[in-house]
A and B are shown apart, each in its own frame.
Chain A
Amino acid sequence: MRVELVKRPQHSALFSALSPFIALFLTLIAGAILFSILGKNPVSALYYYFVEPLTEVWSWHELLVKAAPLILIAVGLSVCFLSNNWNIGAEGQLIMGGIAGSILPVVFPDFQGWYVLPVMLLLGMAGGMAYATIPAFLKVRFNTNEILTSLMLVYVAQLFLDWIVRGPWRNPQGFNFPETVQFNDSAILPAIWADSGRAHWGFILAVVAALLVWFMLSRTLSGFEVKVLGRSARAGRFAGFSAGRLTFFAFLVSGALAGLAGIAEVSGAVGQLRTSISPGYGFTAIIVAFLGRLNPLGIVAAGLVLALSYLGGEAAQVSLGISEKSARIFQGIILFFVLASDTLIYYRIRFVTRHSDAAAKGA
């Protein structure tokens, strides 16, 4: 038997709009099945996973802390993906942004003042941009596949962070722990409502970025260029747009936002540089981008949903004794269902059995 995907003549606008919700619903069902196989009560497991983290004020703060980098990165990725540039290396750009942004508080801790934080954020963006330039350049100049190069550069960045934190940047008074010095107060991204929790200004930056990119994509000629070249490179060339220039633009935007997410995470949530500064935000943001339908406003909502999966994973570890890695499984299941729903909106499945195949041959 053979399975074929056949393009539908028309696709339903209703199901296009419903698709993310259908995907989330199916994820919940798949999760319930998963928990019952693990021998847990699926209803209470889903409760601990997706509801309990929302019952306390401090965990709402945690939700925003986790959502901030996811939204920042995914907004940048939406520009990449819409323009047909498959940047899979946001995790590496986040790390490089975190490192570049930490130069001031780690190497020059004596610089203190209001100007430190803006300079750190700008350096973070510059670091992410510089790192994203590499796959963009390789793609434009040598026609290499950006999926491979950007992904491989993630591992380079992770090892570079490991080396710099264990080596030159290690805190001399840190009892040999692989950590840098604690950032001084002027290098810390402040909390939004300091008395109720630790949600920091990174979330505000994320929402602002989402609004700006949404405006750019929907209202300006640059956004038009992104959409035209993403849908039809040849029509884009006919319009006089340069695919190479756009590749740089898309990688620079997404690199800058990933770098900003990195320094915001280091400066707002951690307060120092460690060997690991991200639980895979750069990869999870790919799911956020698609769940948000590559629309920056949808991405804000999708970022909160995926942030919840991180919190749920921690909660499930405490209350159910399941590994927090189960969060990764949920994220994978969400991506699977999002892509599957989107595919089935445009295609239908046809089963070709040996029997019907033989009939088709007129035998």
Chain B
Amino acid sequence: MTSITNKNGAGRPLLEASKLTKIFGSLKACDGIDLSIGTGEIHALLGENGAGKSTLVKMLFGALQPTSGDIGWKGNPVTVSNPAMARSLGIGMVFQHFSLFDALTAAENIALSLDEKTDLNTIAARARQIGQTYGLPVDPDALVGDLSVGERQRIEIIRCLLQNPDLIILDEPTSVLTPQEADLLFVTLERLRSEGKSILYISHRLEEVRRLCDRATVLRHGKVVGQCDPRKETAGSLARLMVGSDIHVIERQPVVAASTGPNNLLEVNGLSQKPRGPFSVSLHDIRLSVQAGEIFGIAGVAGNGQGELFEAISGEVLQERPDIIRIRGKDAGLSGISARRKLGAAFVPEERLGHGAVPDMPLTDNLLLSRYSTDGKVFLAGGLLKLLQQSSLTLAAKRIIAQMDVRKSAENPDASALSGGNLQKFLIGRELDRNPSVMVVNQPTWGVDAGAAAHIRQALVDLARGGSAVIVISQDLDELFEISDRIAAMVHGRLSEAVPIEAMNMERVGLMMGGADTSNQPSAGAA
């Protein structure tokens, strides 16, 4: 155990990287990065998607080899040739996407990652003990498939702590947690810090960085653009450092109820559904209605049935009765996704590659994917032969690309060749181009950089204010607060009452995401 030198990381640094550079082809993912992490400090690594955070961390953890530059560890130069070596040095990492097997127990999952052979009972006992010490309660005998995302993260952290590391790297740890779960995590991290462990904390959530971290290093386009004490900064000044300019502020006019036509453009009336696979969530009596002009936000931690709800509304999965889903006043519960599109609905799923788009098909083909049924007159010719009209597809793709500012490297690249943010802009633009009256989007800005995310959010707000009904399912609470008019939360396949944004706050949405009933609060009630 290293002795505590200084809470703010002065003295000899634990890890010191100098001039770390990684070049992929012609792209400098990391360009001469200097980073020093002191003993017993929580060091934030800030930056947008594509700023080079992951590349830097992968080099520290040995998953990538730097093109040039040096890493010093406890004062000695080291070459971290692979993750196993990083672990033996004392560097542990908790990834954003967990690498756990659903069908194994927590203890079995931990055993798999240990380099030496240890018997399961010993592991379970040590896991329990570490869990108690650091406030990470987990049942080592529970099947991972049955655990919540927060509990799975605890297993990953325990797995990491079992190696007794001096430096723990956490990649976006709160992106999958409710605010309350995140608070528990912070207690654990502060405890680790008080024992002299160092933590490299990767995040783009500025508030929690300001609350938790001692120092911050900010990356932009692969370079260090600033080092600061986040507690002395504001969220705004940190954001400016990260993005390099002021972030576009979403403009929201108040909702004006439509005076004519059916007011509720989308209704879900008592949707229940059995789980469709071993790791799928069942849905219980979900009711919601969305008016013209409003954005209905659905909060919730991943894996609480959001994906299942999306597939039920989109018609990828049909309902038992026609009136369970009503689109623009017409029963649609037994209609497939094409028929629902023809009623005026549009859908953007969470997964871009392999659900919203076919990875190895060009953008024009991916445009046709969701538009052939509604825009057959433009994109198909030859009557029953249904010949593809490449020229009109190319024109429409160009229009969307210009409208949404999609950046691409080739004339008509494969979907997989676009970055996540640019592909998402294209997929949202593909639906907006139809001017749909109902739009359902699942995780609209997941993994999208701040500039593109603002663009997407503004487009959704504009669509709603133009008289459409929009549902946004998101794990990003800041996003929901920014654009929603009402917010409901999903937990264990149930949807809470919707609360108007004026009566909503972080604490309340956190309780709703945790399954607590908040409807007896004085300000409750749906609009």
Contacts and interface: CB of A to CB of B under 8 A. Distances in A.
Question: Is A bound to B?
Answer: yes
Interface of A: 219-222, 224, 227-228, 231-232, 234-235, 237-240, 359-362
B81 A220 contact: no
Contacts of A239: 337, 369-370, 372
Interface of B: 81-82, 84-85, 87-89, 115, 314-316, 336-338, 341, 347, 349, 351, 354-361, 365, 368-370, 372-373, 380, 382, 385-388
B84 A238 contact: no
Query: Which of A220, A235, A237 has most B Cβ within 10 Å?
Result: A235
A222 B369 CA distance: 12
A238 B316 contact: yes
Contacts of A224: 365, 368, 372, 388
A235 B369 contact: yes
Contacts of B337: 237-240
User: Which among A227, A232, A237, A362 has the highest number of chain B CB atoms within 10 Å?
Assistant: A362
A228 B373 contact: no
B388 A221 contact: yes
A238 B370 contact: yes
Given A228-B358, A237-B316, A222 B84 contact: no
Contact of B358 (A219, A221, A235, A361): A235
A53 to B, nearest CB: 39
Contacts, number: 76
Contact of B82 (A219, A228, A237, A360): A360
Given A228-B361, A235-B357, 20 more contacts: A220-B382, A220-B385, A220-B387, A221-B386, A221-B387, A222-B386, A224-B368, A228-B369, A231-B360, A232-B359, A235-B356, A238-B337, A239-B370, A360-B81, A360-B85, A361-B84, A361-B85, A361-B115, A362-B81, A362-B88
A347 B370 CA distance: 32
Contacts of B354: 232, 234-235
Contacts of B81: 359-360, 362
A222 B88 CA distance: 56
B489 to A, nearest CB: 25
Contacts of B385: 220
A126 B300 CA distance: 54
Nearest to B415: A235
A331 B370 CA distance: 42
Contact of B369 (A220, A238, A359, A362): A238
B433 to A, nearest CB: 16
Contact of A240 (B82, B336, B357, B359): B336
A362 B84 contact: yes
Nearest to B348: A238
Contacts of A232: 354-355, 358-359
A18 B387 CA distance: 30
Interface centre among A221, A231, A237, A361 (most CB of B within 10 A): A221
7 contacts: A221-B386, A232-B359, A238-B356, A240-B315, A360-B81, A360-B84, A362-B84
Contact of B314 (A222, A235, A238, A361): A238
B28 to A, nearest CB: 17
Contacts of B357: 235
A360 B365 CA distance: 44
Contacts of A227: 361
B100 to A, nearest CB: 22
Sorted nearest first, the 4 A-B pairs with minimum C-beta distance are A240-B338, A362-B85, A221-B386, A362-B88
Contact of A219 (B341, B365, B368, B387): B387
Contacts of B387: 219-221
B82 A238 contact: no
A227 B388 CA distance: 14
A237 to B, nearest CB: 5
Contacts of A231: 358-361
B373 A240 contact: yes
B388 A220 contact: yes
Contacts of A228: 358, 361, 365, 369
A281 B523 CA distance: 76
A113 B338 CA distance: 49
A122 to B, nearest CB: 21
A221 B355 contact: no
Contacts of B359: 231-232
A238 B349 contact: yes
A116 to B, nearest CB: 31
A218 to B, nearest CB: 9
A8 to B, nearest CB: 13
A231 B353 CA distance: 11
B361 A220 contact: no
B84 A221 contact: no
A126 B369 CA distance: 32
Contacts of B382: 220
A238 B386 contact: no
B404 to A, nearest CB: 19
Given A221-B380, A231-B360, A362-B88, A240 B341 contact: yes
Nearest to B368: A224
A235 B373 contact: no
Contacts of B380: 221
Nearest to B372: A221
Contacts of A359: 81
A356 to B, nearest CB: 10
Nearest to A229: B358
Contacts of B84: 360-362
Contacts of A234: 351, 354-355
A220 B386 contact: yes
A224 B354 CA distance: 15
A220 B337 CA distance: 21
Nearest to B386: A221
A24 B398 CA distance: 42
Contacts of A220: 382, 385-388
A237 B351 CA distance: 13
A362 B388 CA distance: 57
